[in-house]
């Protein structure tokens, strides 16, 4: 069933804002509601109806009911330090509203590969099933959010639930902790370690979310570009110099190197052990092959920074 009224959370972020704008271009969708506390990333002049609301507030249920929303896209969860309350409380409140609603029949959750945790004892490449073990160990906010969504799907079996686990999102104008990290003049890395990193280009991430909204594709899907870059290699490609420091000092060193780089525990773990996800299920079951490889996506970001 095609969606008629879509509600997108987290539209102040680039991904959420661009997704809402992209949905508004689809003539089959009657209304697109964009929810956030600020309108930063919602392009003006689109059909997106901006709703200034905090998803941590129970009044979000009224928004869903009055607009007769049938598809909820939870794009609000953020990586990065200090987002815990928004991520966890916001998700609980939003999902509670979905559960009570009579009109919502589909939920799409933007998650991240951080659910897999990672470390010296983890497999080199994670498939979707690997999160079952990782949820208990260091999956972070994302693991909690997915847990709530799966709980809702159990209580409301009529609901179509798609969870999309994104690799690190990158692209020409992406501004997040990781892109700021790669823009530092000297980039602190963990001494004695070199991580494997995988990126997904924002256009691929958007295309996957859009496909999950317009098609009924229940399940959990990893989304990442093909191929892998080593962290030191990525830093070199960005024209920067890696600066290895002891693991305990990576946080202070990043701040000293100049910048508003607040890495989350999940991202710090990424920098020492890396994380690669298997996208076979995305390509076969979901029916989408990312157009950008990890390297091409990263180079696209580098080109935009160099300009």
Partner 1 sequence: MPVQEADVIPLPTARTDAPPQPTRKLASVTELRPRRAPQSLTDFVRSRLTGDYQVDEFGFDPQLTDTVVLPPLRMIYEKWFRVEVTGEKNLPLDGGALIVANHSGTLPWDAVMTSIAVHDNHPRGKHLRMLGAELVFKVPVLGALARRTGQTLACGADAQRLLRSGELVGVWPEGFKGVGKSFSERYQLQRFGRGGFVATAAKAGVPIIPCSIVGAEEIYPKIADIKPLAKLLGLPYFPVTPFFPLLGPLGAIPLPTKWRIDFGAPIRTDLASPDTADDHGFVLEMAAEVRETIQRTLDSMVAERESVFRG
Beta bridge partners of 200: 169
Q: Choose among 104, 103, 102, 123: nearest CA to 113.
A: 123
For residues 155-174, which are near partner 1 according to CB under 8 A?
172
Hey, which residues between 18 and 47 contact partner 1 (CB under 8 A)? none
Are 195 and 268 contacting, i.e. CB atoms less than 8 angstroms apart?
Answer: no
Q: Between residues 84 and 303, which has the closer beta carbon with respect to partner 1?
A: 303
| Interface with partner 1, residue 229, by CB under 8 A | yes
Quote the tokens at residue 16: 């959420």
In the DSSP assignment, the letter for residue 130 is G
Q: Are 217 and 71 in contact (CB under 8 A)?
A: no
Rule CB under 8 A: choose which of 45, 120, 132, 157 binds partner 1.
120
Long-range contacts of 49-56 (CB under 8 A, 24+ apart): 50/11, 54/90, 55/9, 55/86, 55/90, 55/91, 55/93, 55/94, 56/85, 56/86, 56/89, 56/90, 56/93
Rounded Cα distance between 146 and 177, Å, is: 22
Using CB under 8 A, pick the residue from 181, 182, 286, 292 that binds partner 1: 292
Report in angstroms how near the CB of residue 42 gets to partner 1 at its nearest: 19
Is the Cβ of residue 50 or residue 181 nearer to partner 1 in the bound state?
A: 181
Residues touching partner 1: how many (CB under 8 A)? Answer: 44
Non-local CB neighbours of 58 within 8 Å, separated by 6+ positions: 93, 96, 97
User: Residue 294 Cβ, how far from partner 1 at the closest point, in Å?
Assistant: 8
By the rule CB under 8 A, 253 interacts with partner 1: no
Q: Per CB under 8 A, which region of 26-34, 91-99, 121-129, 251-259 contacts partner 1?
A: 121-129
Lookup: tokens for 113: 């590969």
Is-contact 286 208, C-beta < 8 A? yes
CA angle 216, 222, 223 (to 5 degrees): 90
Answer for which of 233, 251, 255, 262 binds partner 1 (CB under 8 A) is 233
Work out which of 230, 252, 256, 284 binds partner 1, going by CB under 8 A: 230
Q: Which of 33, 76, 282, 297 binds partner 1 (CB under 8 A)?
A: 297
Binds partner 1 by CB under 8 A, chosen from 43, 123, 151, 287: 123
Q: Is 113 in the site for partner 1 (CB under 8 A)?
A: no
Q: Which of 51, 61, 63, 296 binds partner 1 (CB under 8 A)?
A: 296
Residue ranges in 184-213 that form contacts with partner 1 under rule CB under 8 A: 191-194, 196, 201, 203
Exposure of 118 in the CB half-sphere (CA atoms within 13 A): 24
* Nearest-approach distance from CB 125 to partner 1, in angstroms: 5
For residues 99 and 127, which CB has a smaller minimum distance to partner 1 in the complex?
A: 127
Helix-helix angle 140-155:84-100, to 10 degrees: 10
Residues that bind partner 1 (CB under 8 A): 120-125, 127, 130, 172, 191-194, 196, 201, 203, 226-230, 232-240, 274, 276, 291-293, 295-297, 299-300, 302-303, 305-306
């Amino acid at each position: 069933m095609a969606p008629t009224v879509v509600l997108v959370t987290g539209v102040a972020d680039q991904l959420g804002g661009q997704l809402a704008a992209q949905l508004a271009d689809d003539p089959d969708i009657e209304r697109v509601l964009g929810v956030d506390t600020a309108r930063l990333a919602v392009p003006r002049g689109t059909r997106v109806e901006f709703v200034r609301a905090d998803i941590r507030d129970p009044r979000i249920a009224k928004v869903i009911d009055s607009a007769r929303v049938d598809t909820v896209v939870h794009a609000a969860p953020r990586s990065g330090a200090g987002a815990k309350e928004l991520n966890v409380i916001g998700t609980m409140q939003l999902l509670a509203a979905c559960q009570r609603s009579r009109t919502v029949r589909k939920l799409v959750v933007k998650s991240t590969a951080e659910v897999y945790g990672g470390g010296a004892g983890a497999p080199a490449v994670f498939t979707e099933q690997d999160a079952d073990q990782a949820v208990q160990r260091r999956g972070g906010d994302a693991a909690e959010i997915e847990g709530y969504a799966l709980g809702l799907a159990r209580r409301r079996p009529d609901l179509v639930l798609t969870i999309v686990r994104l690799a690190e999102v990158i692209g020409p104008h992406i501004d997040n902790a990781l892109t700021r990290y790669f823009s530092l003049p000297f980039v602190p890395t963990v001494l004695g370690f070199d991580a494997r990193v995988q990126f997904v280009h924002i256009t691929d991430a958007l295309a996957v979310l859009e496909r999950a909204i317009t098609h009924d594709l229940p399940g959990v899907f990893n989304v990442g570009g093909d191929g892998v870059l080593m962290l030191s290699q990525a830093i070199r490609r960005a024209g920067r110099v890696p600066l290895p420091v002891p693991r305990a000092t990576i946080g202070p060193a990043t701040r000293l190197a100049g910048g508003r780089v607040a890495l989350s525990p999940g991202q710090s773990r990424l920098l020492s052990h890396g994380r690669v996800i298997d996208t076979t299920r995305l390509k076969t079951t979901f029916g989408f092959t990312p157009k950008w490889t990890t390297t091409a996506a990263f180079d696209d970001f580098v080109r935009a920074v160099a300009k």
